[in-house]
Amino acid sequence: MSIIAIPKQKKLHRFITTLPGSISPGTIAMLYFKRWTIEKAFNNSKSNLKETKAWSSDNNSLKNQMRLTAMSYNLLRSAT
């Protein structure tokens, strides 16, 4: 585990990571940003679409639920 620091607009952002040291700090920051964007999208879809339960424990059903939720979320976003 390591801590990397990345300066951005007069602020110093620190990330704790288990990624190898051969990966540049900028790449690690971009990966964190992309992951955070995905997390926010799922959180918004759960909030806006009231998705609180899985429809099934079957893997294919869960994948279909995720796809339908993502499509519904995107349609609602594009309509507003």
As a whole number of angstroms, the distance between CA 61 and CA 72 comes to 16
pLDDT tens for 12-49 read: 888 888 888 888 888 888 888 888 887 887 777 677 76
Residue 54 is predicted with a pLDDT of: 72
Residue 2 backbone phi and psi in degrees, to 5 = -145, 160
As a whole number of angstroms, the distance between CA 80 and CA 75 comes to 9
Question: At residue 45, what is the residue type?
Answer: S
Supply the pTM of this predicted model: 0.52
- List the helix and strand counts (H, then E) for the chain: 2, 2
